[in-house]
């Protein structure tokens, strides 16, 4: 089955760190760009970060630049997001999403993992 499964979310204090993972299956992971998109409770979608299939290109939203790091392990079919210096405004459901056909629209999404930043 073609799917993405996120893990690693939870409750963390402001200033803390968390590492999200996304396990891919059912498709050739190494051929696709991968992305993180988040959604704060009751709010809209916000793009967080993207990484190309070969890791040659990496992009971040201004709101997370310098604090978050995206990476991937094509041998393990896995995507990661290292989140440091977390703030209350980072509270959201974080979705892993596959880039479609070399572009950066998202044709496959995981169910998401909730990150709550609170003291």
Partner 1 sequence: EIVLTQSPGALSLSPGERATLSCRASQSVTSSYLAWYQQKPGQAPRLLIYGASSRATGIPDRFSGSGSGTDFTLTISRLEPEDFAVYYCQQYGSSPLTFGGGTKVEIK
Contacting positions for partner 1 (CB under 8 A)? 37, 44-47, 50, 59, 61-62, 95, 100, 103-107, 109-112
Smallest distance from the beta carbon of 13 to partner 1, in angstroms?
A: 27
Pairing between strand 68-73 and 78-83? antiparallel
For 17-66, the DSSP string reads -EEEEEEEESS-GGGS-EEEEEE-TTS-EEEEEEE-TTSS-EEE-TTTTT
The secondary element (H helix, E strand) that includes residue 80 is: strand 78-83
Between 14 and 106, name the residue whose CB sits nearer to partner 1: 106
Between 49 and 86, name the residue whose CB sits nearer to partner 1: 49
Smallest distance from the beta carbon of 103 to partner 1, in angstroms?
A: 6
Smallest distance from the beta carbon of 119 to partner 1, in angstroms?
A: 27
| Token reading at 19 | 């590492």
Between 18 and 110, name the residue whose CB sits nearer to partner 1: 110
Between 17 and 28, name the residue whose CB sits nearer to partner 1: 28
If 0-12 CB within 10 Å is exposed, 13-18 middle and 19+ buried, where does residue 119 land?
A: exposed
Smallest distance from the beta carbon of 42 to partner 1, in angstroms?
A: 11
């Amino acid at each position: 089955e073609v799917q993405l499964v996120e893990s690693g979310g939870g409750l963390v204090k402001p200033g803390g760190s968390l590492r999200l993972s996304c396990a891919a299956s059912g498709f050739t992971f190494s051929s696709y760009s991968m992305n993180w998109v988040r959604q704060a409770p009751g709010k809209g979608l916000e793009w967080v970060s993207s990484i190309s299939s070969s890791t040659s290109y990496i992009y971040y939203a201004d709101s997370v630049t310098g604090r978050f790091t995206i990476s991937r392990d094509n041998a393990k079919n896995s995507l990661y997001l290292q989140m440091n210096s977390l703030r209350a405004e980072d509270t959201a459901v974080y979705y892993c999403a596959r880039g479609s056909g070399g572009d950066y629209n998202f044709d496959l999404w995981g169910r998401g993992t909730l990150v709550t930043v609170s003291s």
